[in-house]
Structure 1
Amino acid sequence: MNDVSFLGTFRVGTGSNARCAGSGVAGRETIAYLFQNPNHMFDREVITQRFWSDEDRENSKPALNNVASRLRRALEKSKIKSVVLRADKWSIGIYLEDEELTDTRALSLALRQLQLGEGDPQELYRRIQDLYRGEFLPGHSNCWTMIERERMLSIYVRAMLLVTERLFREKAYNEATDCCRAILAHDPLRESVHRRLMLLQVLRGEGGKMCQHYSNFKNTLRAECCAAPTWRTQSLFAVLSKEPSRSQLESIVNGEISVD
């Protein structure tokens, strides 16, 4: 478990101080911002303008002091020695020695490892699933937070797509199916993953389930987006419905996993 978590939760260390209670919404977002942008000192005025509303701006300076105090207490109580909080009258910043201290940075490193073709895909799949337990800072709606939430989701999906590709190549179809379903749990309208899942269902001898999955996806698109599956997805369904041979399926797989 990582010492600091922002995916699906907010936690700095362990124990009663881990949630930095009393920091408020703006305070938790500030802490996350500092951890997401480490090894840099930020002007306090810039921080308060970014995370405190105009109505709360008058009290933002003492509020930021309170946040720094609660964060320092959480770090000290949890004995996290690989992170240093630096703060003076004008600026504040987090300095890290451990690249995998936070779940978000560990997730980014897992993606980098996959991009380099390193590691065992099934182990990386389990690692990524353990890291990405939900959206970044759930329940928070600051503009920066929402952008960062989408960025972390993108990193998760890209990593999982690379895992899926390697599992396909290893013919580990059951594990690849689990991987696709995990992606869709967080990004239910990603059409390329629906295509991969349809392929996997046919490869596993589940043609009936493939037809039902396509029908469900088509209905979901119509209901939620007033749209239809793309030509690529419709064409794949037409081919898979004709029960292609194993060699034909492998050719389709090679074409499909090379494109997101």
Structure 2
Amino acid sequence: MFDVHPVSIIGPGTQPPVLVALLGTFRLTLQGALAPIGSGSKAETLLSHLALARQRRVPRLHLLEHLWPDCESTLAGQSLNSLTYRLNKLASKSLDGAELVTHEDGYYSLNTESGVEVDIDCFDTWSNAGKRLLQSGHEAEGLAHCQRALVLYRGDLCGDSSICTVIERERLRAACLDLLACLADYYYARRNPAEAMKYIHRLLAHDPCREDAHRQAMRCYVRLGLRAQALRQYQICSQALRVEFNATPEPATIDLYDTIRLDPASV
């Protein structure tokens, strides 16, 4: 049931002993190997729930109601015991005998003290560290951290549609877009508009209404000698805002468009 297969999620030499991944699709990796836990299974639901609640312990009764809402409490309790036993046995070797899911005084949690990590925390750590390093002039190390964060962000946070999950999903999505914008600004400032455009395209693919990205794209096209494309980018921005929000571009976007149209050399 729990065969594992090698898979690269973070990178050589950087894999934690156990990683619970929620960005994109759910994944559980053990020493870099993927455990094929079925999509929508009770194991996925339990680990996802504990991962999202990793900063606090979850009451046993809450898990029983969440996982087996229509089941008699005694049978549900037996099912939870069996599920945690199998998961802990699966991860035991990777954690040097420690448990993946701990249970104490009626509360459950992921055993983060023994090496269990969640990809959300890795993404936040690498993204924030990368931006700080870039700002402090440690460019090579900063770029490496940023790239590691982007590789880890395989998609928006998976999970249910509860308000807490929705809020966390939007926070992470915004953080990823801000990281893409940061890298675009970095390369533009170093007169590498072609590289900056790679990140701008990725950003706009996720959020077509992000005006700061449209403006940076317009500036990049001017530097690349593509004035007509810069003007078309303004039209794309205007259309996206009109369709999505029935809104017009900000004054800063209009001013940049007029500058490119009348005096592109000053951009």
TM-score (norm. length: structure 1): 0.76
Q: Is the alpha carbon distance of 1:123 and 1:88 closer, same or farther for their aligned partners in structure 2, counting shifts above 3 Å? A: closer
Q: What amino acid is the match of 2:102?
A: R
Q: Provide Cα deviations, 1:164-192, integer angstroms capped at 9, x if missing partner.
A: 22222222211111011111222222111
> Is 1:137 matched up with 2:153?
no
Aligned counterpart, 1:72: 88
Q: Provide Cα deviations, 1:69-127, integer angstroms capped at 9, x if missing partner.
A: 454344347x2559742114611011325889433222111222134234435534532
Q: Provide Cα deviations, 1:14-72, integer angstroms capped at 9, x if missing partner.
A: 69972533864x763542242244364322234556x4696679676555445534543
Aligned counterpart, 1:127: 148
Q: Superposition pairs for residues 37-186 of structure 1, below 5 Å? A: 37-38=53-54, 40-47=56-63, 51=66, 61=77, 64-65=80-81, 67-76=83-92, 79-80=94-95, 84-88=100-104, 90-97=106-113, 101-118=117-134, 119-120=139-140, 122-137=143-158, 140-186=160-206
Q: C-alpha distance in 1, partners of 2:116/2:256?
A: 40
3-state SS in 1 of match to 2:111:
strand
> Is 1:244 matched up with 2:264?
yes
Q: C-alpha distance in 2, partners of 1:237/1:57?
A: 65
Q: Is the alpha carbon distance of 1:222 and 1:85 closer, same or farther for their aligned partners in structure 2, counting shifts above 3 Å? A: same
> Is 1:226 matched up with 2:246?
yes
Unaligned regions of 5+ residues in structure 2, if any?
A: 1-8, 11-18
Unaligned regions of 5+ residues in structure 1, if any?
A: 250-260
Q: 2:35 aligns with which of 18, 41, 44?
A: 18
Higher alpha-carbon deviation: 12-21 or 172-181: 12-21
Query: Aligned Cα RMSD in Å?
Result: 3.3
Q: What amino acid is the match of 2:47?
A: I
Q: C-alpha distance in 2, partners of 1:206/1:93?
A: 55
Aligned counterpart, 2:212: 192
Q: C-alpha distance in 2, partners of 1:4/1:68?
A: 15
Aligned counterpart, 2:6: none
* Offset, 1:211: 1.6
Q: C-alpha distance in 1, partners of 2:69/2:48?
A: 21
* Offset, 1:196: 1.0
Q: C-alpha distance in 1, partners of 2:250/2:77?
A: 52
Q: What amino acid is the match of 2:152?
A: L
Aligned counterpart, 1:213: 233
3-state SS in 1 of match to 2:161:
coil
Q: C-alpha distance in 2, partners of 1:192/1:57?
A: 54
Aligned 8 A contact 1:13 1:74 in 2: no
Aligned counterpart, 1:202: 222
Aligned 8 A contact 1:8 1:135 in 2: yes
Q: Is the alpha carbon distance of 1:57 and 1:148 closer, same or farther for their aligned partners in structure 2, counting shifts above 3 Å? A: farther
Q: C-alpha distance in 1, partners of 2:172/2:87?
A: 23
Aligned 8 A contact 2:157 2:169 in 1: yes
Structure 1 vs Structure 2: percent identity of aligned residues?
21
3-state SS in 2 of match to 1:93:
strand
* Bigger relative CO (Cα 8 Å, ≥ 6 apart): 1
Aligned length: 243
Aligned counterpart, 2:16: none
Q: Is the alpha carbon distance of 1:233 and 1:6 closer, same or farther for their aligned partners in structure 2, counting shifts above 3 Å? A: same
Q: C-alpha distance in 2, partners of 1:193/1:183?
A: 7
